[in-house]
A and B are shown apart, each in its own frame.
Chain A
């Protein structure tokens, strides 16, 4: 095998044709090659008919390189980029349903405000909280709410985008890593 470097979390973006079965092809490739997806988010992009997938994959450089190449080999995949080492912004949304009592409600609201999260539903014994942010922020809120009793939680999976050029200057990290072109 090629060099087996340390396992690291990689963020990959794939632009794919918005067609039936594309997600199956992608998922099937991951399964068949024995790759694990830590998180996957799919949605429409700025171009009509083209969806954007954001993957978080744990693996060494060899494995993630193979993931990118195998992804790019799929006919419906237009473009793949490993943006891990670029300057990126990442966001995830989570909905957390937490147990509340008359005693705890106030404290929970304080925590929610502290995190600039939103309360989107209030019931007699629970509350649904919406939080958007980076993974760590969501983890932190979840940890703080856990003692109150988390009834349900869902996370959207990470979405990521490369930042714009700062002050009109080119991105110092360039585009060197992980850009995969070519197809076969």
Chain B
């Protein structure tokens, strides 16, 4: 079968099981769109800004575990993908970005809409390639998907010049194997390391598991919970590890770190063994590294060799596929009860109830999220942007199933909440997706509400609207003598009218007793809904370990009172 480069891309997408792609056409990539129209098996979702294509592909990938695909044209189309690609790289999300490039004879001549996108994305992709021959297209797409989804997942960009997409036809031969001699995927860990780790775990008196994104990526949540239960080891999750163990599991201590639960951070301080699973001890988790878990030894398992020993010195550092390594480890872990340790943790929980929302007549953002998560009963997917609303969602939303909390962790990308939620909903059409938004982030990407409407993505947008850049405002409040330079909006749009302009329902909530009703109404309404929660403006996220400090400098909410 003789096909053009563009047709080969489409055939390859089908072979890779990519039935949804997010994109926006332009001159250089137009031949691909000419082919896409003949491939109804690949559903194309037209975004309003290429940034949304990358972020929607990200949300899609995290919600489904499949590779998210985005498409953009050369030049500005490709550069608009950059933030979304960088976010996927930081959070190890499998993504393939396909960009059109100017025709081969024009490359390097500063042609119209020419950008060296493989150069631009070199440090923010797992790999990228410029395909200069139509005969290489199938292999490139095949390799790109393989690299994106295996090992430590990440984004791969494939740049294809217009004349390669359009030009000579060639026989379509789907490659049977990858052409990547330098690419090795870790599997099991050496037995002696597994034995050494098991011995440390069996001997530990105050052990903690720290579960990262890798637990979700490798589908190790069941195994991890089994090990935790067998040896009665409490589990702390990183921001991206949330939903790797149900929120109401008795061993789940919630998130730790800068805005983590006080008792989680204090438990880390007292732990004698930290078992890091598929996580990277980043600075938001550890604070000042020299004061992090001062009494603990570290067992660290990660699929990325460069993460072992990067931030903490490990007693046993294992490079491997987490699921394979935990499978090796499970029979070596002895049953344990850790009565004293669990009792101590209960004590810390009682003394530092960071998960409790204080009583207030005002509409507190934490209260909104608590009611929201109660109303949805911890089912469905929560997607957030970055900032205060993100931290409150991480603290107060409840999760039952894996991969139901989707957030931009490493890069911390504002505006992620709108396109990522729509991508997640497209990937999991039977699931309720709540996009918890800040009013700042929402305005960065709200143009893609149109995309949600057009694609029938049933996303419920909950804007925690404090009419300012909340996290910036908080930092200015605490560290910059309340100099609120450039963090307060004086002319936010009317988000209910924005909803109406897009032909969808908008609900404004200003009082506590309206919250549950609004959430229910949103869920009962077919299609996207925007709920504008006018929350208290100057609320601070507690607990709070200032950047670069330790648990000893942790700020907790003054005199918390229980709410009903």
Contact = CB atoms under 8 A, between A and B. Distances in A.
A3 interface: yes
Contacts of B152: 184
Nearest to B127: A75
B478 interface: no
Nearest to B152: A184
A78 interface: yes
Given A3-B313, A66-B310, A184-B303, A24 B185 contact: no
B309 A183 contact: no
Contacts of B305: 69, 72-73, 180, 182-184
Nearest to A70: B306
B306 A181 contact: no
A183 B151 CA distance: 8
A1 B289 contact: yes
Interface string B280-323: 00000000010000000000000111100111110000010000
Contact of B182 (A1, A16, A70): A16
A184 B151 CA distance: 5
Given A21-B118, A66-B310, A28 B123 contact: yes
Given A75-B183, A181-B184, A184-B151, A28 B122 contact: yes
B493 interface: no
Contacts of A73: 304-306
Contacts of B180: 75
B311 A1 contact: yes
27 contacts: A1-B311, A1-B313, A2-B309, A2-B310, A2-B313, A3-B313, A17-B181, A21-B118, A21-B130, A28-B122, A28-B123, A62-B309, A69-B305, A73-B305, A74-B182, A75-B180, A76-B182, A180-B305, A182-B186, A183-B182, A183-B183, A183-B184, A183-B186, A184-B152, A184-B185, A184-B186, A184-B306
A182 to B, nearest CB: 5
A24 B127 CA distance: 13
Nearest to B154: A184
A25 B289 CA distance: 30
Contacts of B151: 183-184
Q: Helix, strand, loop or mixed for chain A's interface? A: mixed
B119 interface: yes
Interface in B58-75: none
A133 interface: no
A144 to B, nearest CB: 44
Contacts of B304: 73, 184
Given A75-B180, A76-B182, A184-B151, 20 more contacts: A17-B181, A24-B119, A28-B122, A29-B123, A66-B306, A66-B310, A70-B306, A72-B306, A73-B304, A73-B306, A75-B182, A75-B183, A78-B182, A182-B184, A182-B319, A183-B182, A183-B184, A184-B185, A184-B186, A184-B306
A15 to B, nearest CB: 8
Interface residues of A, number: 29
Interface string A51-62: 000000000001
Contact of A78 (B118, B147, B181): B181
Nearest to A62: B309
Given A3-B313, A32-B123, A69 B147 contact: no
B398 interface: no
Query: Can you list the 3 inter-chain pairs with the closest CB atoms, starting with the nearest?
Result: A183-B184, A69-B306, A184-B304
Contacts of A66: 306, 310
A159 interface: no
B142 interface: no
A182 B312 CA distance: 20
B282 to A, nearest CB: 13
Nearest to A3: B313
Interface centre among B127, B147, B184, B306 (most CB of A within 10 A): B306
Contacts of A32: 123
B524 to A, nearest CB: 45
A65 interface: yes
A96 interface: no
Interface string A6-18: 0000000000110
A77 interface: yes
Interface centre among A2, A17, A28, A29 (most CB of B within 10 A): A2
Interface in A74-90: 74-79
Interface string B116-144: 00110011001100100000000000000
A21 B182 CA distance: 15
A34 to B, nearest CB: 12
A116 to B, nearest CB: 39
A24 to B, nearest CB: 7
Nearest to B92: A184
Contacts of B319: 182, 184
A25 B185 CA distance: 20
Interface centre among B180, B181, B182, B310 (most CB of A within 10 A): B182
Contacts of B306: 66, 69-70, 72-73, 184
B180 to A, nearest CB: 6
Interface string A33-55: 00000000000000000000000
Contact of B122 (A24, A69, A70): A24
Contacts of B182: 16-17, 74-79, 183
